[in-house]
Amino acid sequence: MADLAAVPVPRSTGLAPTVLGGIGRVVEHHWRWYRRNWRATAVSTVLQPLLFLLAFGVGFGALVGSGPNAAAATGGVPYLVWLAPALLAMSAAQSAAFESTYPVLSGFKWQRIYLAMAAGPLTGAQIGLGVLGWIGLKMLGAGAVYVLVIAAFGGITGPGIVVSLLAAVLTGLAVSSLVAAFSATVENEGTAFSALFRFVVIPMTLFSGTFFPVDRLPAVIRPLAWVSPLWHGTEIARGAALGTWRLLPTLGHLAVLLALLVLGATLVARLFTRRLAA
């Protein structure tokens, strides 16, 4: 008993050491869960993009390659090579949208993990930004696996695909930050998330230059593609992978994605704090 009494009892200061330290604790929590349960998310993070690659890049690509206007649309490269970096960005955006809806609401409404974190030393802003940090790391890992799959099918022509991967992660973070901020305000997930995926995520996937150039769209619809974060990410990723990027347009796309990320992260910090304080 005397030995036990001599052992110092750790005491919480009630505050996270730093802002980054608090964010890191949230990321660590998600990593500890993920390393034991990663199989449950393997389909959505790896298998689904692989099926897209096989269906469109290999299957549909064989038909596109034989068309008379294929070279004009793809810049003379095989359709698989043209499509691969865009699929990388698309898979990141889709994964980010899903990870920022039901899992985020679960942390507030069902599992109440965020409430438990907020009862300790973490602030609402640290929790929200930590969630975004984890989603970014998860997208980076899944994207790296996807790059290896693309390489196995001959969809890589040079080291620019590494920049494409980083552009895809940035695109996913821009999408994730905005969607997570929205999820922090949701109570009825059925109506809100169904509308989000039906009227935002699916159209963004189809009409952001992923499967065909935006200039093939009717002129009336093109402005909708231009405001999509996926279009900006696709342009950076494709330009880097194919070596066709130009400085000023690339800087413009990058500025838009960074602005969306800053806006979304600011909203996440405020809305997480507001909901956890309610």
Q: What is the mean pLDDT of each run of 10 residues along the chain (278 residues)?
A: 48 62 94 88 71 75 62 76 92 94 95 93 95 96 89 88 97 98 92 94 92 86 90 96 94 97 98 93
User: Which pLDDT score, from 0 to 100, does residue 72 have?
Assistant: 66
Q: What token pair was written down for 34?
A: 């993920």
User: Which pLDDT score, from 0 to 100, does residue 215 have?
Assistant: 86
- DSSP state, residue 216: G
Look over the chain and give the mean of its residue pLDDT values, rounded to a whole number: 87
Q: What token pair was written down for 148?
A: 């290896």
Closest by CA to 237, choosing from 89, 15, 91, is: 89
Helix axes of 19-37 and 124-152: crossing angle, nearest 10 degrees: 50
- Using DSSP, state whether 159 is helix, strand or coil: coil
The Cα–Cα gap between 268 and 272 comes to 6
User: Letter for the amino acid at 154?
Assistant: G
DSSP 6-39: HSPPP---SS-SSHHHHHHHHHHHHHHHHHHHGG
User: Letter for the amino acid at 232?
Assistant: H
Q: Where are the domains of the chain?
A: 41-277
Distances (CA, A) of 92 to 39, 70, 165, 197, 265: 18, 26, 9, 15, 17
Question: Measured on CA atoms in the order 122, 138, 159, 67, is the torsion positive or negative?
Answer: negative
The Cα–Cα gap between 261 and 30 comes to 21
- Model pTM score: 0.89
User: Which pLDDT score, from 0 to 100, does residue 38 have?
Assistant: 84
Closest by CA to 129, choosing from 277, 273, 255, 278, is: 273
Closest by CA to 244, choosing from 79, 56, 74, is: 74
Closest by CA to 168, choosing from 88, 246, 114, 111, is: 88
First to last CA, the chain: 44
